[in-house]
Structure 1
Amino acid sequence: MDDAGTDLAESTNDASLERTQRRSDEIEREIVQDASRFRVLTGDRPTGNLHLGHYFGSLLNRVRLQQAGVETFVLVADYQVITDRDGVGPVRDRVLSLIADYLAVGIDAERSTIFTHSAVPALNQLMLPFLSVVTDAELRRNPTVKSELDATGDRPMSGLMLTYPVHQAADILFCKANLVPVGKDQLPHLEQARVIARRFDERYGRAGDGSQPVFPRPEALLSDAASVLGTDGQKMSKSRGNSIELGMDADTTAKLLKRAVTDADRHITYDPVGRPEVSNLVLLAALSTGRRPEDVAEEIGDGGGAALKKAAIEGVNEMLAPVRARRAELTADPGYLLQVLRRGNDRANAVAEATLAEVREAMSMVY
C-alpha cells in the first residue's frame, strides 16, 4: 500500500482517532482564544429537505462556530447530486429550501458565505491538477467510493462518483479552509484532501520544492453532537421517509412522532444500546428542552410510550416554532433567497479565482 493508502487506512485506526480527538479538543480551546485563525468549510447536498438529524448533527454546530467568530463557507453541493443519480430532480427548489433552512436556524449570510458548486468555476477547475496527484487505485480504496462500487453490482460507476473524494478536496482547499467539522466516518475524506494538498505542494509549491506551500493542511473538528434516529428506529434519512423535517408543521410532526417505534415496556429508561427506539424519543425530548435524557426518562417513569411521545412532540414543536416561523417568511420571498445565494457565490468566486491564480503561478502556467 502506498503513502496515500496508508494515510487513509490509518486515519480511522484507534491510535489515530485518539490523536485526532486530542487535536480537535485543542482546536476548540484555540477557537476560544482566537477564532480568526480558522476558516471552516462545511455543507450539504441538495437532495431533500433538512431534518432534525441535520439540526442536531451539524447545523447548531455551524451556528456556534459562526457566533464564535470562525469564518465559515457553507457549500450547497449541487454538482454532487449527480454523483450517484441519473438526474438532478427539483434541484432549484431544494437549493432554495437549504438556504431557507440555513438562515432560519441562525446562519448569518453576512458572516458566513453560502454558495453552490455550479456557480464557482475556479473551484471545479482545481480538480484537474488535483486529479494528477492521485491514482485510480487510491480512489477505489476510499470508503465512500468503495461502498458505492460494492453497491453498484453490474452498473458502471460514473467518473464523477470515482473522483468524489477529489471534488471534496477541491471544496475544502479552494478557500484554503484549515478546519472541517466531521464525524469519525468522514475522516478518510479529509485525509484525502490533506494528501492532495501535500502532494501538490511537493510537486509544485511556490518555490518549486514545496517549501512555500500553496495549501494548508486542513484539520478535523470532531463532532460530539448527539445522533438522532428516524421514527422507524433507523438512521434519520431524507430517502427513508423517517425524518422530522425542519419545515414540517406542528401537526405533521405530531403525527409522525405518534407513529414512532417504541417497545412493550411501560417503564421509560434511557438505554441507547438496549432500547434504542425508546431512548431516541427520550433524547429528542431532552435535546429540544435542554435537559439530560436520564432526567427526562426518570420524570416520565411508568407513563409509557404515550407520555414519552407527548413529551417529544411538545419539546420538538416548541423548539422548532421560531425556526419554522422564520423559515415560512424566507420561503415566501424566493427573490431574497436568490439574492443571498448570489452574494455568497460572488464571494466564493473571488476566493476561488485568487486560489486558482496561485495554483497557475505555482505550476508555471501564467502566460
Structure 2
Amino acid sequence: MEMSFRWYGNDDPVRLEHVRQIPGMKGIVSAIYDIPAGEVWPKEKIIALKDSIEKAGLKLSVIESVPVHEDIKLGLPSRDTYIENYIETLRNLSSAGVKTVCYNFMPVFDWTRTSLDTPLPDGSHSLSYDEATLEKLDPISGELTLPGWDLSYQTEQLKGILETYKGVSEENLLDNLIYFLEKIIPVAEEESVLMAIHPDDPPWSVFGLPRVVTNKYNVEKMLRAVDSTSNGITFCTGSFGALHENDLLQIIDVAKDRIHFVHARNVKWTGTKSFQETSHSIHDGSLPMVEVIKKLIEIGYNGPIRPDHGRMIWGEEGRPGYGLYDRALGATYLNGIIDTYRTARKGEFI
C-alpha cells in the first residue's frame, strides 16, 4: 500500500515538508478548491498543484474530490451539461498524470458532524456525531456549518434544493448515480482513470435527505450496474463503520478488486447512530483496524491509503480532523500493521 496524506493546498497550516518527514509517506491527496462544482478544472491549475507537491519530494497520488454538481444528483435535464464538464476535468487530470479520483454522491451536504471538538478521556478532542443533537438542528438556519460543505448557496437557494429533494427517493438517487457512471466510466476507461466513490458519511439519511452509498448491498448494486475496473470505491472504515450493521470485512469482499483508495480511521460508537472519532488504535475505537488492514493485504490491495481524520493533540490548532500530529501517528500505526503482515506472509516470521 502507498501511504498518503490529505493536504488542502497552500492555505493548509500543515506544511508539505513536515508531511514528508512521516516515515513511509509517499503521496499527497489534494484537490483544486477554488473551482465551483460543475465547472471544468483547467489543466494548468492541475499541473501547478502537481508541481508544488513534487517539489516537496512527494507525489500527487489522488484527487479528492472532484465535486458532483447537484443537478446530476437530482437527475435534472441540465445534468448532461455538467457531466460533460466532469468528463473534461477527468481528461485534464489524466493528461497531467493523475489516475485516481475520489468523489462522493451525498446530496447537498458533505460529511456531517455535530461537534468539531468533543473532548476525549486523554485530554485531546475530535469530531463527533450525535443523532439527537442533529435532529434539533435546522440546516437552513446556519446553526451548523462544516469544512467541506458548499456554502455558496443563498438561503432561498438552499430551501429550494432541499424542497426538490423531498421528491427524490433512495432508489431515484441510486438511479441518478448509475446514470452518471454510465456516462463517465467509458471515458475513465479510455484515460486509465480509477473512479473511487466515497461512502456517505455518516451512512444514513441526514436532514431527511436520501443517501445510497451506505452498505454492501448498495455498493454491490452500483459496481454490478456499471461493471468496469474504473468504477470502484474509496473504502472508508470510519464512514462504513459508523453503522453498526456494516461488517467491514464483508464490504471488502464485495468490492475486492474495485477498491481504489482507502481511508483508515477509527470511531467509538456512542449510540445507535452516534459516534466519536478516536485514535487509529484498536484500543480506543470500536472498529477492527488490524483485521481490516490484514484483509486488504490478503486481497492484494496495493493502492493509496491515508490516515483519515485525527484528534487534535499536543496543543495543535488547525483544520478540524486534519492536524499533522495525530494523522502522523495514525500513518505510523498503519504502517506497523502493514509491515507486520507483509513480513509474515513472506514467511520471515509467524
Question: Normalising by the residue count of structure 2, what TM-score does the alignment of the two structures yield?
Answer: 0.29
Question: Normalising by the residue count of structure 1, what TM-score does the alignment of the two structures yield?
Answer: 0.28
| Greater per-residue helix proportion | 1
Between 1 and 2, higher relative CO (CA 8 Å, sep ≥ 6) is seen in 1
| Greater per-residue strand proportion | 2
Larger Rg: 1
